[in-house]
Amino acid sequence: MATVVTRDVLAKQLAERAEITMSAARDEVSWFFDTIAGALQKGDEVRIHGFGAFKTSQRAARVGRNPRTGEQVKVPARRVVRFSASTTLATALKGGRGSRAKS
């Protein structure tokens, strides 16, 4: 079963690695994600070398179906976040040579 990596898990790892307090590590992790979210809200693309790219795209309005009743439902247009894995990450996930050593 896969482990869930939360903000607190990331903060704990950062605190240990950078030898800083948990409070400071939580602030840094929050800053990192807030920076990414802010850029996406402005419509910018976020590229992280060796990891991937986040960008937004517009999803058109459509007619869907309620799976329980079969009734047609209007689904409004909305903006969504898309993620594209870098070649390095994609290769690592496939078990190829591009994987980095775990620290």
Domains and their CATH numbers in the chain: 1-44 (no CATH), 45-103 (4.10.520.10)
Mean pLDDT of 85-100: 83
The three-class DSSP label of residue 64 is strand
Mean pLDDT of 15-43: 98
Question: Is residue 101 scored above 70 in pLDDT?
Answer: no
Amino acid 103: pLDDT: 44
For 96: left if phi > 0, alpha if psi spans -120 to 50, otherwise beta; the answer is beta
Kindly report the average pLDDT of the chain as a whole number: 93
pLDDT band at 4 (very low <50, low <70, confident <90, very high): very high
